[in-house]
Amino acid sequence: MSNATPARIDRAALERIIQRAAELQTAERDTGDGLTSDELMALGREVGIPGQYLQQALLEERTRLGSIGAAGLFERVTGPGEIAAQRVVRGDPAGVEQALLRWIEKNELLCVQRQQAGRITWEPIGGMQAAFRRSTAAFGSGKRPFMLSRVATVSATILPLESGYTHVALSADTRKVRNEYVGAGAALAGAGVAGTAALVALGALLPLALLPLPVAFGVGYGVLRRFAPAVARIQLGLERALDFLEQGGATPQHQLPDRNAGILGLLADEVRKALKS
């Protein structure tokens, strides 16, 4: 008689099971129209949820911003010009800010454009600096792909919440990437129109002259559709940075070492990393 291996439960099924179990647990209590924070914490203790995680989720819900939706017909057809992600993480704002700066510097082809208290903006780097960082990433220990190099800017807003918690909101300007796909699609559609006009001018039969139109519009629409995967990759890049902060990437400011500024400091840091790997 063989030992049957228990079937594994995937992530989606696990989330549904936990959500349903929570619904069954809360159904036994009369919650009325809602719960206070203290009642929610007490309910969490009953079902075995650690208080720190419930407190973090509660703060995240309180600070949740509305999702950036399509502003008009153009964005509904082509795609968003800006995407965002947010998270409540443990740590003080200064430590979270420094951790985010280190993460972006190490894992993305971006440099600080402007930095104020609680607000940072990055822009893509280019030239030798970008080539050097790509080469060190290829030959060094870092294997993470660059996901935000095509955006126009990335912005971060860091706000303190209750003691020990910080709200981080990231946004990426995707209009530059969108314009590239829209321009390529429009150029293909325009080529189809020009081809049809040329055939008509040459006296071709109308059915034959119209053939370039559906082909050009179809190919142009296919190019435009490739913008959606690009947006998904940028969204993943934002979430990846927040994952790092959520998993304890923030370090208290007094524990951070002094860093050299400028390109020479960057070169020295990258050489040290390459020697250690």
pLDDT at 1: 47
Write the CB contacts of 93 (distance below 8 Å, at least 6 apart in sequence).
Answer: 118, 158, 159, 160, 166
pLDDT at 258: 45
pTM over 0.85: no
pLDDT for the residue numbered 138 = 63
Tell me the CATH number for domain 81-177+240-276: 3.30.310
Enumerate the domain spans of the chain: 81-177+240-276, 179-225
Residue 218: name the closest of 185, 240, 254 by CA. 185
The answer to whether the beta carbons of residues 45 and 51 sit under 8 Å apart is yes
Complete DSSP assignment for the chain: -PPPPPPPPPHHHHHHHHHHHHHHHHHTS--TT---HHHHHHHHHHHT--HHHHHHHHHHHHTPPPP----SHHHHHH--SEEEEEEEEES-HHHHHHHHHHHHHHHSSEEEEEEETTEEEEEE--HHHHHHHHHHHHHSS--PPP-STTSS-EEEEEEE-STTEEEEEEEEE-HHHHHHHHHHHHHHHHHHHHHHHHHHHTT--HHHHTTHHHHHHHHHHHHHHTHHHHHHHHHHHHHHHHHHIIIII---GGGSPP---HHHHHHHHHHHHHHH-
What's the pLDDT score for residue 117? 85
Report pLDDT for 133. Answer: 76
**What does the pLDDT read at residue 254?**
45
Which pLDDT score, from 0 to 100, does residue 255 have?
Answer: 45
pLDDT of residue 256: 42
Tell me the C-alpha distance between 242 and 32, whole Å.
Answer: 35
One pLDDT digit (tens) per residue for the chain, 277 residues: 455 566 777 777 777 777 777 666 666 655 555 666 666 667 666 666 666 666 667 666 666 655 555 567 777 778 888 999 988 888 898 999 999 999 998 899 999 999 988 899 999 988 787 777 777 666 655 567 889 989 999 999 998 887 788 889 999 999 999 999 999 999 988 999 999 899 888 888 888 888 888 888 898 888 888 998 999 999 999 999 999 998 876 655 444 444 444 444 555 555 555 555 5
Residue in 155, 157, 160 with CA at minimum distance from that of residue 93:
160
Buried/exposed code over 221-255 (b: 16+ C-beta within 10 A; e: otherwise): eebbeebeebbeebbebbbbbbebbbeebbbeeee
Please tell me the predicted confidence (pLDDT) of residue 276: 52
